[in-house]
C-alpha cells in the first residue's frame, strides 16, 4: 500500500498530542519532488517510550574501546554494566603471534552499596594493581558508569596515579551512561581519548608498506573486517590499523603513518577522519563494504585515489575473479528473495548500508531508520575542501570531485588546485533520505509501539533490527534478521559476506518454522472481560 504523510496521524492514535507532535518530526514519508527533506534526529527519547537505543557507556566501552584486544577494559560500576557489555557485540579478535588478547575477559569493580556510600576510588586503584600483576596488558582503559558519575569518583586521578605507579598507559573515560542522548556521545568520548593519547604515540614516520591505509569505523562484527582484509591485502594494500576491530593499542599508535583513511561507519567516526586529516594531513574516503556493488565501487574509488596503473589492474583482476565466483551463488538465493519487502532499522549506519545488499537480492526496503544517527547521516553531509598542504608537505594536495553522481576525493596536481576549488559542490556522504523511494518511510529512533503499528499496516516480509525487538516481531510471524550481531552468523561484509547474508535471509524465508507459529491473536480475542449491567 502507498503510505502518505496523513496516515501518520492514524498510526499514532495512542499518543498524547505533545508526544505525537514530537514523534512526527522524527518520521518522514519520502517525497522525491521535494529537493531536500529534513528530519529531527539526535534528540532525547521521550521518557516512557521503549527505545532501542544504548547509552554513552555502551558507545564508549562497548563499541569503540572494547575491540582493542591487548588492553584490559575496566568497567568501574555495578557488575551488570560489565556483564551486559561482555561479548554481546560479537566484535571478534584473534590473538596475534606473541601478542596479547583479553577480549574474552570481563573486568569490573563490581560496586556495592557500601562503595556508593563511601566511594569506590580505592577499589578501582586496587583492581588496576591486580590487573597489571595478573594480566600484564599493554594498556588499560577505565570506563565510568552512571553511579560512578553520580557519586563523583575521580577516575581520572586514580588512572593517572596508576599510570605513574605501573608505567603503562591507564586511560580514563568519563562515559557515564546518562551523558548525551544515546551511544553516540560515547563514541565521541572514546575516539577523542584515542586521538589524544594513542594515535601517533610512536616514533614511526614511515608506513609499514605500500598503499598504507587505516580502516576507520569497522568493528569486525562476526568477522567482517577479516573478509575486507582478505580482499584488500590480495590487491596489495597494507592495513596499518582497523579502528577498532580486531585491533590493538600497539597498532593504533601507528595509525598516523597511513596514506589514506577509509571510513566505513560514517556515524561513529567521521569526525576522527576529519581530525586525522587536520592533524596528520591524511585524506579520507567514504567506503561501504556491505553488498557486492558497494564493495566493487569502494575498491575502484580506492584505486582511483592512488592512481597507480599496477594497483588499478590488480583491483580489476580481483573484482572480476570474485564476481565470477559469487554472482552465480547469489542467483540461487535471489530466486527465493525476489520481490520481497524489508524494514531496515539499525543503529547509526547499517540502516542505510544494508539496503544495498537487500536490493541486490531483490528485496525493497520500505521503511528504514537509525537509532541514534545525526541529521547529516539522514540528509547528507557537505564538506568544504581544505586545500592547504601541511607544514612538512606530507599530505597529498587533493580535492573532492563529482563523477557518475558519486562524490569522492581525487588527487589533483597542485597547480590546478586554485582553478578547481570553487567549482565543486561537495558532500562526502549523500545520506539515507536521497536513496529512499517515493512513499517509503524514514523513522528516527523507532520505538516498540511504532514498530508494531508499522508492521500491522505495511506487513514487511522481513524485519532487520536488533535483539530488543527481534522476538516480538517473530512472534508476529515475520522473519527477523539481527543486523547488530548478525544472529551469531557472519561475516556479512565483502564478497563472501554477501553470500552468507543471502543464505541466512533465504533460510529465514524458507524455514518451516513459520508453519508452526500460531500467534495468540489468531484464535483468541485480544481483550477479554465481563460487562456488568446496570
Find the binding residues for ligand CFN in span 51-90 (CB under 6 A): 59, 63, 89
- Cα–Cα distance for residue pair 307/136, rounded to 1 Å: 44
Does residue 106 carry a catalytic annotation? no
Residue 179 interacts with ligand CFN (CB under 6 A): yes or no: no
- Cα–Cα distance for residue pair 212/356, rounded to 1 Å: 28
Q: Which residue is nearest to ligand HCA (CB)?
A: 466
Residue 427 interacts with ligand HCA (CB under 6 A): yes or no: no
Nearer to ligand HCA, 464 or 502 (CB): 464
Judged by beta carbon distances under 5 to 8 A according to partner kind, the member of ligand HCA, ligand CFN, none in contact with residue 77 is none
What's the closest the beta carbon of residue 251 comes to ligand HCA, in angstroms?
22
- Cα–Cα distance for residue pair 242/244, rounded to 1 Å: 5
CB-based contacts of 149, cutoff 8 Å, min separation 6: 174, 176, 178, 179
Nearer to ligand HCA, 54 or 479 (CB): 54
Nearer to ligand HCA, 123 or 481 (CB): 481
Between 339 and 378, how does the x/- string for binding to ligand CFN read (CB under 6 A)? Answer: -------xxxxx--------------------x-------
* DSSP count for the chain of H helices, then E strands: 22, 16
- Cα–Cα distance for residue pair 183/219, rounded to 1 Å: 15
- Cα–Cα distance for residue pair 120/115, rounded to 1 Å: 5
Q: Which of 76, 352, 374, 484 binds ligand HCA (CB under 6 A)?
A: 484
Nearer to ligand CFN, 183 or 315 (CB): 183
Q: What is the signed CA dihedral for 349, 102, 109, 191, rounded to 10 degrees?
A: -40
Residue 448 interacts with ligand HCA (CB under 6 A): yes or no: no
Nearer to ligand CFN, 169 or 369 (CB): 369
Residue 468 interacts with ligand HCA (CB under 6 A): yes or no: yes
- The 3-class secondary structure across 203-265, one letter per residue, is CCCCCCCCCEEEEECCCCECCHHHHHHHHHHHHCCEEEEEECCCECHHHHHCHHHCCEEEECC
Judged by beta carbon distances under 5 to 8 A according to partner kind, the member of ligand CFN, ligand HCA, none in contact with residue 198 is none
Find the binding residues for ligand CFN in span 87-106 (CB under 6 A): 89
Q: CA Rg, the chain, in Å?
A: 24
Q: Which stretch binds ligand HCA (CB under 6 A): 50-58, 331-339, 404-412, 423-431?
A: 50-58
Between 395 and 424, how does the x/- string for binding to ligand HCA read (CB under 6 A)? Answer: ------------------------------
What's the closest the beta carbon of residue 103 comes to ligand HCA, in angstroms?
14
What's the closest the beta carbon of residue 65 comes to ligand CFN, in angstroms?
12
Find the binding residues for ligand HCA in span 170-189 (CB under 6 A): 183
Whether the CB-CB separation of 388 and 396 falls below 8 Å is answered with no
Measured between alpha carbons, how far is residue 265 from residues 223, 272, 334, 364 in Å? 15, 11, 27, 22
Residue 517 interacts with ligand HCA (CB under 6 A): yes or no: no
Find the binding residues for ligand CFN in span 217-236 (CB under 6 A): 217, 219, 221
- Identify which of 151, 150, 197 has the alpha carbon closest to the alpha carbon of residue 173: 197
Nearer to ligand HCA, 320 or 467 (CB): 467
Does residue 190 carry a catalytic annotation? no
Whether the CB-CB separation of 480 and 468 falls below 8 Å is answered with no
Active-site residue identified among 30, 53, 179, 187: 187
Judged by beta carbon distances under 5 to 8 A according to partner kind, the member of ligand HCA, ligand CFN, none in contact with residue 147 is none
Which residue carries 586554485 as its cell?
A: 418
Nearer to ligand CFN, 140 or 346 (CB): 346
Which residue carries 562497548 as its cell?
A: 62
Strand blocks (E) in 362-479: 363-370, 398-403, 406-411, 441-444, 462-465
Q: Which residue is nearest to ligand CFN (CB)?
A: 347
Nearer to ligand HCA, 310 or 467 (CB): 467
User: What is the CA 167 to chain-centroid distance, rounded?
Assistant: 33
Nearer to ligand CFN, 229 or 371 (CB): 371
> DSSP letter string over 108-157?
E----HHHHHH-SHHHHHHHHHHHHHHH--SEEEEEE-HHHHHHT--HHH
Q: Which of 268, 270, 282, 428 binds ligand CFN (CB under 6 A)?
A: 268
Whether the CB-CB separation of 120 and 109 falls below 8 Å is answered with yes
- The one-character DSSP state at 68 is B
Which residue carries 538465493 as its cell?
A: 333
- Cα–Cα distance for residue pair 149/145, rounded to 1 Å: 7
> DSSP letter string over 294-322?
HHHHHHHHHHHHHT-HHHHHHHHHHHHHH
Pairing of strands 441-444, 27-29: antiparallel
What's the closest the beta carbon of residue 52 comes to ligand HCA, in angstroms?
6
Active-site residue identified among 56, 58, 342, 493: 58
List the grid coordinates of 204.
Answer: 614511526
Judged by beta carbon distances under 5 to 8 A according to partner kind, the member of ligand CFN, ligand HCA, none in contact with residue 467 is ligand HCA
Judged by beta carbon distances under 5 to 8 A according to partner kind, the member of ligand CFN, ligand HCA, none in contact with residue 149 is none
Active-site residue identified among 41, 55, 139, 303: 55
Residue 272 interacts with ligand CFN (CB under 6 A): yes or no: no
Judged by beta carbon distances under 5 to 8 A according to partner kind, the member of ligand CFN, ligand HCA, none in contact with residue 455 is none
Whether the CB-CB separation of 279 and 268 falls below 8 Å is answered with no
Measured between alpha carbons, how far is residue 357 from residues 219, 290, 495 in Å? 19, 7, 11
Which residues are at the interface with ligand CFN (CB under 6 A)?
A: 59, 63, 89, 183, 217, 219, 221, 265, 267-268, 346-350, 371, 484
Residues with a catalytic annotation lie at 55, 58, 89, 187
Which residues are at the interface with ligand HCA (CB under 6 A)?
A: 52, 54, 58, 62, 88-89, 183, 347, 466-468, 482, 484-485
Amino acid at each position: 500500500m502507498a503510505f502518505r504523510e496523513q496516515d501518520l496521524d492514524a498510526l499514532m492514535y495512542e499518543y498524547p498530542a505533545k508526544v505525537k507532535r514530537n514523534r512526527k518530526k522524527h518520521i518522514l514519508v519520502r517525497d522525491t519532488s521535494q529537493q531536500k527533506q529534513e528530519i529531527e534526529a539526535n534528540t532525547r527519547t521521550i521518557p516512557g517510550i521503549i527505545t532501542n537505543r544504548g547509552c554513552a557507556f555502551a558507545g564508549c566501552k562497548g563499541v569503540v574501546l572494547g575491540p582493542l584486544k591487548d588492553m584490559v577494559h575496566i568497567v568501574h560500576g555495578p557488575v551488570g554494566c560489565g556483564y551486559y557489555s561482555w561479548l554481546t557485540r560479537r566484535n571478534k579478535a584473534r590473538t596475534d603471534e606473541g601478542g596479547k588478547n583479553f577480549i574474552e575477559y570481563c573486568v569490573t569493580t563490581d560496586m556495592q552499596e557500601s562503595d556508593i556510600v563511601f566511594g569506590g576510588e580505592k577499589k578501582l586503584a586496587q583492581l588496576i594493581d591486580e590487573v597489571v600483576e595478573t594480566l600484564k596488558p599493554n594498556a588499560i582503559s577505565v570506563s565510568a558508569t552512571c553511579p560512578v558519575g553520580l557519586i563523583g569518583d575521580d577516575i581520572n586521578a586514580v588512572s593517572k596515579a596508576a599510570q605513574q605507579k605501573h608505567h603503562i598507559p591507564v586511560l580514563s573515560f568519563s562515559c557515564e551512561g546518562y551523558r548525551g542522548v544515546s551511544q553516540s556521545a560515547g563514541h565521541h568520548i572514546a575516539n577523542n581519548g584515542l586521538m589524544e593519547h594513542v594515535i601517533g604515540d610512536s616514533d614511526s614516520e614511515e608506513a609499514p608498506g605500500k598503499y598504507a591505509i587505516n580502516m576507520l569505523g569497522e568493528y569486525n562484527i562476526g568477522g567482517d573486517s577479516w573478509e575486507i582484509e582478505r580482499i584488500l591485502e590480495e590487491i596489495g594494500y597494507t592495513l596499518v590499523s582497523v579502528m577498532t576491530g580486531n585491533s590493538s593499542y600497539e597498532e593504533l599508535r601507528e595509525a598516523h603513518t597511513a596514506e589514506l583513511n577509509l571510513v566505513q561507519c560514517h556515524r561513529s567516526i567521521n569526525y576522527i577522519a576529519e581530525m586525522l586529516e587536520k592533524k596528520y594531513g591524511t585524506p579520507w574516503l567514504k567506503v561501504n563494504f556491505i553488498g557486492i556493488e558497494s564493495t566493487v565501487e569502494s575498491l575502484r574509488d580506492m584505486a582511483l585515489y592512488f592512481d597507480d596503473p599496477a594497483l588499478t589492474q590488480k583491483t580489476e583482476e580481483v573484482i572480476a575473479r570474485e564476481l565470477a565466483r559469487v554472482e552465480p551463488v547469489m542467483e540461487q538465493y535471489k530466486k527465493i528473495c525476489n520481490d520481497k519487502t524489508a524494514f531496515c532499522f539499525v543503529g547509526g549506519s547499517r540502516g542505510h548500508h544494508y539496503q544495498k545488499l537487500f536490493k541486490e537480492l531483490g528485496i525493497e526496503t520500505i521503511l528504514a531508520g537509525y537509532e541514534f544517527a545525526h541529521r547529516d547521516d539522514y540528509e547528507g553531509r557537505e564538506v568544504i575542501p581544505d586545500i592547504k598542504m601541511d607544514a612538512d608537505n606530507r599530505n597529498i594536495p587533493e580535492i573532492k570531485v563529482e563523477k557518475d553522481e558519486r562524490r569522492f576525493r581525487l588527487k589533483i596536481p597542485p597547480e590546478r588546485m586554485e582553478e578547481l576549488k570553487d567549482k565543486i559542490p561537495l558532500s562526502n556522504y549523500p545520506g539515507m533520505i536521497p536513496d529512499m523511494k517515493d512513499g517509503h518511510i524514514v523513522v528516527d529512533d523507532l520505538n516498540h509501539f511504532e514498530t508494531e503499528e508499522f508492521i500491522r499496516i505495511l506487513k514487511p516480509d522481513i524485519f532487520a533490527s536488533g535483539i530488543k525487538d527481534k522476538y516480538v516481531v517473530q512472534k508476529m510471524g515475520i522473519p527477523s534478521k539481527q543486523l547488530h550481531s548478525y544472529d551469531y552468523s557472519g561475516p556479512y561484509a565483502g564478497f563472501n559476506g554477501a553470500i552468507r547474508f543471502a543464505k541466512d535471509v533465504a533460510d529465514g524465508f524458507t524455514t518451516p518454522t513459520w508453519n508452526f507459529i500460531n500467534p495468540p491473536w489468531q484464535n483468541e480475542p485480544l481483550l477479554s472481560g465481563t460487562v456488568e449491567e446496570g
